[in-house]
Amino acid sequence: MKKLEICLLCLCICLFSLCGCRRYERIEATAPAPVVVSRNSDEAESQEAPETENETSAEQETTIIELTTEEETEPPLPERIPVKVKGVYLTAYVAGTTSMFDEILSHIDETEINTVVIDVKNDEGRVTFAMDSPIVNEVGSVQKLMDIESVMAKLKERGIYTIARVVAFRDPYLPEQRPEWGLHLADGSLYRDNKGLAWVNPYKREVWDYLVEVALEAHRAGFDEVQFDYIRFSTEKGINNVVYDEADTQGMSKTEIITEFVEYVYQKCLQEGVFMAADVFGAIIGGGIDSDNVGQSYGNMAASLDYICPMIYPSHYADGNFGIEHPDTQPYDTILAALQGSKADLRGYARNGEHQAVVRPWLQDFTASYLKNYINYGPEQIRAQIQAVYDAGYDEWMLWSAACRYHWDGLRTPEEGEAEMRELEAKRAAQAQTTAAEETLPAETDESLEAAGQSGAEEAGGQESAPSGS
């Protein structure tokens, strides 16, 4: 009997051990995550409640999955704080000349201007301050025109928002150093535009990385934003004779490659916490042959930019554009029409929840005396353009003068500028409420509208109605 009890005890111990092994093996076997994903599905809810042992397993599985997901999560992007820009353009030479720069700063102190756009890679293809970049130094593109530490210190002291202008594909310097990156004719020679300037090949990804390097070095030097100019193909004489390598084009059109470049650079800038903008021709708004020739699609580019900056200088529009006889002579009407076109174009690309760039136009602060029909631009014309920006529903703008000579009298003081923006915001909020209220009113029948019209005519006693503009 004693032997029998000992045998039964041993048998129980074995069974207990085997049960434990089976539980461990089942957890090991059912560890893959996909099973847990369906716990909230209708199918999972319709099943019978699992045993306690299964619940424990599910909890362990969930823990494993959550830990794995947490480990694989990408780090958060750097915080970026947007600024509503009212800016002016400066060459690196002006920024690097103390007397000129200090004079500009004194005007900025007294006006609503809160931003400067400074050349970092200029129209000659030269980088305007020393950079700690192997590729930039290898190419030898630095031509030091300003002490960036001193310039940035003065700007940051005043709380001025800083934008680095980077000229992209019109680059007369880089193809001389890296001929394989330039545009070539059938005989192998470099393509040059009407001014004799070479251009780099937008299809070359090596050029993209070079431009990204310049942009990020600018940010590391203190710039809040990078604004690319000449993100386009040349349209001048001889461009149709350029020969492209199929290995570079991969069957992509000009518009497709420019859009892909913008997307590529935008992601690089986003990871570094720097805002990205692009200057575009005003003529590409609405698409058409101009858009195809330069490779700029207004709507597609806006999907991969923080700011899109159409150059809508009245002097750049031919007679008859927007139904205006001489656009340069009517700055308010020209700017308003161009930006109304901008809204209509972007509306066609808008998708719920999808990103779209803020529109920040370049305005004209120079006199286009080369035109047959022009006017002198001064404070009145500057203010008229700014007002057109606001009336079109936009808030930001920049003034362009290649000589960096601005009509400061056409600008508000800082206090006046802030008051104007508050008034504008209040006006827009009231308009939005009115529109919302009108949209909620029940639709009236033709009969009720007719009756209301008859009643109104009787009350008016036959008096003439006031002009619509009063």
Q: What is the DSSP string of 1-60?
A: -HHHHHHHHHHHHHHHHHHHHHHHHHHHHT--THHHHGGGSHHHHHSPPPPHHHHHHHHH
Token digits of residue 148: 């960036």
Residue 61 lies inside a defined structural domain of this protein: no
pLDDT score recorded for residue 459: 38
Greatest CA separation for the chain: 125
Residue 462 lies inside a defined structural domain of this protein: no
Residue 63 lies inside a defined structural domain of this protein: no
pLDDT score recorded for residue 313: 98
Residue 324 lies inside a defined structural domain of this protein: yes
CATH number at residue 216: 3.20.20.80
pLDDT score recorded for residue 50: 39
Residue 136 lies inside a defined structural domain of this protein: yes
Token digits of residue 132: 């700690």
pLDDT above 50 for 265: yes
How do residues 358-396 score in pLDDT, each as one tens digit?
A: 999 999 999 999 999 999 999 999 999 999 999 999 999
For residue 40, name the pLDDT band (cuts at 50, 70, 90): very low
Cα–Cα distance for residue pair 273/216, rounded to 1 Å? 10
DSSP β-bridge partners for residue 281: 311
Q: How many domains does the chain have?
A: 1
Integer CA distances (angstroms), 123 to 42, 92, 197, 346, in order: 62, 11, 10, 29
Residue 449 lies inside a defined structural domain of this protein: no
Is-contact 361 309, C-beta < 8 A?
Answer: yes
CB atoms near residue 38 (< 10 Å): 11
pTM score: 0.78
Looking at residue 199, what DSSP letter applies?
B
Residue 60 lies inside a defined structural domain of this protein: no
pLDDT score recorded for residue 365: 98
Residue 78 lies inside a defined structural domain of this protein: no
- Across the range 335-344, mean pLDDT stands at 97
- HSE (side-chain half, CA atoms, 13 Å) at 236: 11
How do residues 398-416 score in pLDDT, each as one tens digit?
A: 999 999 999 999 999 999 9
pLDDT above 70 for 339: yes
Cα–Cα distance for residue pair 70/63, rounded to 1 Å? 11
- Across the range 94-99, mean pLDDT stands at 98
Min mean pLDDT across 7-16, 206-215, 383-392, 428-437 is at 7-16
Q: Which domain holds residue 196?
A: 86-431
